[in-house]
Amino acid sequence: MAIADPQVGTIAPGMDVGPGEGILDVHEARPLRADIIKRFLRNKLAIAGLAFLFLLAVAAIFAPLIAPYEYAERTAQFRAPPSSEHLFGTDTIGRDIFSRVVFGARVSLKIGTLATLLMLFIGVTFGAVAGFFGGATDTLMMRITDIFLSIPYIVLAIAIATIFGRSENSIILVLGLTGWLAISRIVRSSFLGLKELEYVESAHAQGFTKRRIMFRHVLPNAMQPIIVFGTVSIGSVILSEAALSFLGVGPQSPTPAWGLMVAEAGAGSLTSAPHMLFFPGLAIFLTVLAFVLVGDGLRDALDPRLK
């Protein structure tokens, strides 16, 4: 009886078939990284957010070349509206707002990045230990997390800022030491599921140390939520820095922090000089939105179920 094959036609009985003939061509598998990048590039909103962040980083790096004035330099024009000389106008003491917004990108990106790295270090380590060891260790560590969660965030932040003072470094410590609670729970839940898989049992059987298994075998497979959380958290940290600066806990003047500029604009200048609030507020809005869009794009790209 003849056998139909869509690749080579009909194969009759007794017909010689050479090696590889009649077998479907199997293309070489693409690396997982290539699929992730391809899915991310299809997300136009994520690409737009990434492009904005790239421009923001360039502005932060080359701020002295882009800004027409120093961020603390005063001019003779007070609360001047936007003009060709001062693109974003001036503040109450004559400082150029455009220059302060450009230099403020350095402050916001520094605080957002370093505070996020600190919270990820604490939260990932805490959650990994709790989820991997389980039992009494997990119970004790999660109760510690619950205690921190029960303390009002603003009260805890003000208390830490009072101890370390008002500066960029202190606000990094404040946000890093108070923002690790959510990621610790995410990492813990990931470890609770991953530690039961066969490859972890195999690593135990081969005699690897628990530390090696935690950070060389289990942690790489839990990186997807950590990457997404870290990306979104940078935007959240920038927003939190603005809120703390508005409450008087953040960096002090003349530091060109966006939140401090919003706070200064809200102190009696909102109706007479709305541009003082609009432009730094717009910078905060666009930056946070860009990080959220990139985080959403990474989440979709890293999720194999959305392939």
Residue 99 maps to a domain: yes
Residue 130 maps to a domain: yes
Q: What is the CATH number of the domain that holds 104?
A: 1.10.3720.10
* Residue 59 pLDDT class (50, 70, 90 cuts): very high
pTM beyond 0.85? no
Of the two residues 5 and 299, the one the predictor is more confident about is 299
What integer pLDDT is reported at residue 238 of this predicted model? 87
Residue 46 maps to a domain: no
Lowest-confidence range among 54-58, 126-130, 135-139, 302-306? 302-306
- Mean pLDDT, rounded, for 197-204: 85
Of the two residues 71 and 248, the one the predictor is more confident about is 71
pLDDT digits (tens, 9 = 90+) for 25-45: 444 545 667 777 888 888 899
pLDDT digits (tens, 9 = 90+) for 84-102: 888 898 888 889 999 999 9
Residue 18 maps to a domain: no
- Mean pLDDT, rounded, for 138-147: 90
Find the domain containing 175 and state its range: 54-69+89-306
Residue 76 maps to a domain: no
Conformation bin of residue 10: beta by default, left when phi > 0, alpha when psi is -120 to 50: beta
Number of domains in the chain: 1
Residue 222 maps to a domain: yes
* Residue 2 pLDDT class (50, 70, 90 cuts): very low
Residue 34 maps to a domain: no
- Mean pLDDT, rounded, for 244-263: 81
What integer pLDDT is reported at residue 5 of this predicted model? 43
Residue 219 maps to a domain: yes
Unique residue bearing structure tokens 């510690």: 144
Mean of pLDDT over the chain: 82
Of the two residues 288 and 243, the one the predictor is more confident about is 288
pLDDT digits (tens, 9 = 90+) for 95-123: 999 999 999 999 989 999 999 999 999 99
What integer pLDDT is reported at residue 25 of this predicted model? 44
What integer pLDDT is reported at residue 151 of this predicted model? 80
Decide if pLDDT at 23 tops 70. no
What integer pLDDT is reported at residue 48 of this predicted model? 94
What integer pLDDT is reported at residue 55 of this predicted model? 94
Decide if pLDDT at 243 tops 70. yes
What integer pLDDT is reported at residue 283 of this predicted model? 92
